[in-house]
Amino acid sequence: MRFARYWALAETDSPAAAQCWRWSDQSQEDARRQAEEAVQKLARRIAESGHPAERYGYADRPLREPVLQSLEGADGSDLVLVTRNSYGALILNTASALFVDIDLPATTRAASGGGLLKRWFGRSATPSEPLLDPAAQARERAAAWAAARPGWGWRVYRTAAGLRLLATHAPFHPHDEAVAQVFEATGADPLYRRLCRLQESFRARLTPKPWRCRMENPPRWPFRTERAEQAFGQWQSRYEAVSARHAVCRFEGTLGSETIHAELIPVVRMHDDLTRAQTDLPLA
């Protein structure tokens, strides 16, 4: 998993206005040195070309997120890292637990929580029940995937925007061919696929999106001023109070094998506890 411990920002107005974030696992000074070198090169390039700097995608470098909690595997390596993303939500990053989030069009979300889920778990519905849209077909393919592969097991969760799948029968690496096949079969977001591959981890949000709780986004880490850090502390207190009244996902049942691989048991426990997946709280 690619997360840097130290980050630094460097800015310059000469020979052109530019700013660069750089990172290091060695020290804050090393991150600052790299940022200064990078911003000078960038400023010269902008001055020579007369064009603004090119913006890169969010998966071309380590994610600028603080590591708040870690969980080691049996071999001493990081099994789980909990980070805070750019809009303040806690994120579970795991080296081996395959998560897939499937977003649904707003017009079909209510229906997907009823007929299709009931069909998945054998509760009413008939084989002639119509599919709703391509996203719903992807969910049906996930069920067929488990049925066609003995030993495969999914935990299925309802989210505010769709469904979350967690493979529990075995650990995976983001570069595994089976992972690419699952992403293709379920229609996983292309940016998420790329992020998993480059960051060498899978991700699942653990706490609500602030705007779903009628809150603004916080100042982003690393904080550039003491005032920004204080503002974040005030925001965090309000966010934790509000998010305690919401769940991120709700456990709906299993598909295929119900066996949970020993390495994944602590991941499932942490995920379900922090997302409040076993409660009836409103989803956010």
How many other C-beta atoms lie within 10 A of the C-beta of residue 170? Answer: 17
Domain count, the chain: 2
Are residues 168 and 88 located together in one domain of the fold? Answer: yes
Task: Assess contact for 184 and 49: CB atoms under 8 A.
Answer: no
Are residues 31 and 95 located together in one domain of the fold? Answer: no
Peptide bond just before 219 cis, omega within 30 deg: no
- Whether residue 56 lies inside any domain: the answer is no
188-206: average pLDDT: 91
How many other C-beta atoms lie within 10 A of the C-beta of residue 248? Answer: 26
- Whether residue 207 lies inside any domain: the answer is yes
Q: Which range marks the domain in which residue 39 is found?
A: 6-49
Radius of gyration for the chain, computed over Cα atoms and rounded to the nearest angstrom:
21
Tens digits of residue pLDDT in 200-240 = 999 999 999 999 999 999 999 999 899 999 999 999 999 99
Residues 6+ apart with CB under 8 A from 47: 15, 16
Q: What is the pLDDT of residue 53?
A: 58
- Please give the span between the terminal C-alpha atoms of the chain, in angstroms, as a whole number: 27
Task: Assess contact for 31 and 6: CB atoms under 8 A.
Answer: yes
- Whether residue 283 lies inside any domain: the answer is no
97-104: average pLDDT: 89
User: Is pTM beyond 0.85 here?
Assistant: no
Residue 161 pLDDT level (bands cut at 50, 70, 90): confident
- Whether residue 284 lies inside any domain: the answer is no
Residue 146 pLDDT level (bands cut at 50, 70, 90): confident
Q: What is the pLDDT of residue 72?
A: 87
Q: What is the pLDDT of residue 51?
A: 67
131-156: average pLDDT: 74
Are residues 176 and 38 located together in one domain of the fold? Answer: no
